[in-house]
Structure 1
Amino acid sequence: MAGTLKLASSGSFALTFPDAKTEDPVWRFTGLDGLSLWMEGDELHAGGDNESSHYLPTRMKYKPLVLSRPSDEDTPAMCQWVIDNMKNPTPRTGQVSVYSEDPNSPMFVIEFYDLVPVAWRGPTLSTDSVLIAGEEIEFVHRGFKFVPKKPKTD
């Protein structure tokens, strides 16, 4: 056996911006949804060939990225950050670091291009519920890549 398999399922995610300004906060998230892509295309039917068609790829499409977390004392600041960025939308490169047990060393980093917040969903509050209140931020983007890990130096 070559090594121990580390899983990202029990960790957290942190959103950062490589061009971070001092007012850009760093929040930890417990959920990440929307990491997917697909190729759109056009179906072309060749004349005289009634048994098959050709698929012509046209463009890559990306699902919106949704980061979620339990609500806490930072909830009002997070909501205001989203509002401020919606009022003045500036597409930015954002990085999501995926952690497992070690909160200081990410397992991997995903870089998103032209990330823009488009929605914030706050907690549903009810005194009859035992569920933990949570919140979500939804972003649109123009693609992503996994950032190569830097080799460990001894």
Structure 2
Amino acid sequence: MLAEVDTAVTLHFVVSIDNRNLGAFSSCEGLGCEVVLETRQEGGNNQFTWQFPSRISYPTVKLTRPLGRDTSKIGEWITSITQGYSRSTATIKAMTPDATVVADWGLDGVVPVRWSGPSFNPDSPQVATETLEVAHHGFIAAQGA
């Protein structure tokens, strides 16, 4: 008997940084990692090249959402860095509309890279969105998981 799989059709991503809730985002891109390989050739071996893992690199994570009440929370977090900075820990939870957590990720050493607000153009009416981009040093157990 196959286990039932509840595929997440509609998700939102709830983000908190050092237990500071930044609200829900409609899209999340960049969760992943890449192992950097060093290659070595062995004298007399013409069949293959040795590949050794050397380090892991993590892309930046981009979170996007429509403009809303939680927009000010991002500004408060970024502004707090000007008063003294230490690396933060973040939790990203993928949730269904009924608040069921589908998956969660903990990020270590989070730093803000970029925030971009909406573009206002009366010629092309669109939903006003904002994007937060953060860098991190790797995955850890999600807080409160």
> What band does the TM-score fall into relative to the shorter chain?
0.7 to 0.9
Q: Would you tell me which structure has more strand in proportion to its own residues?
A: 2
Structure 2 contact 60–135 (Cα < 8 Å) conserved: yes
Give the Å deviation of 1:93. Answer: 1.4
The residue that corresponds to 1:52 in the other structure is 48
Match of 1:41 among 24, 37, 40: 37
Cα distance change, pair 134–35 in 1 and its aligned pair in 2 (3 A): same
Give the fraction of aligned pairs with identical amino acids, expressed as a percent.
24
Cα distance change, pair 35–43 in 1 and its aligned pair in 2 (3 A): same
The residue that corresponds to 1:141 in the other structure is 136
* Alignment deviations for residues 81-140 of structure 1 (CA, whole Å, 9 cap, x no partner): 32433664321211111101312x322221111111111111122111132111111111
Structure 2 contact 22–73 (Cα < 8 Å) conserved: no
Question: 1:16-95, aligned counterparts within 5 Å?
Answer: 16-17=16-17, 19-20=18-19, 24-85=20-81, 88-95=84-91
Unaligned runs of 5+ in 2: none
* Alignment deviations for residues 37-90 of structure 1 (CA, whole Å, 9 cap, x no partner): 111011101123334211011011111111111112443442343243366432
Cα RMSD between the aligned structures? 2.6
Q: Distance in 2 between matches of 1:113 and 1:81?
A: 16
Match of 2:97 among 75, 97, 101: 101
- For 1:16, the aligned partner's letter is S
The residue that corresponds to 1:5 in the other structure is 5
Task: Tell me the TM-score normalized by structure 1.
Answer: 0.79
Structure 1 contact 6–100 (Cα < 8 Å) conserved: no
Q: Secondary structure at the match of 2:101?
A: coil
Unaligned runs of 5+ in 1: none
Equivalent residue pairs, number? 145
**Runs of 4+ deviating beyond 3 Å:** 1-4, 86-89
Cα distance change, pair 86–34 in 1 and its aligned pair in 2 (3 A): farther
Task: Tell me the TM-score normalized by structure 2.
Answer: 0.83
Q: Secondary structure at the match of 1:79?
A: helix
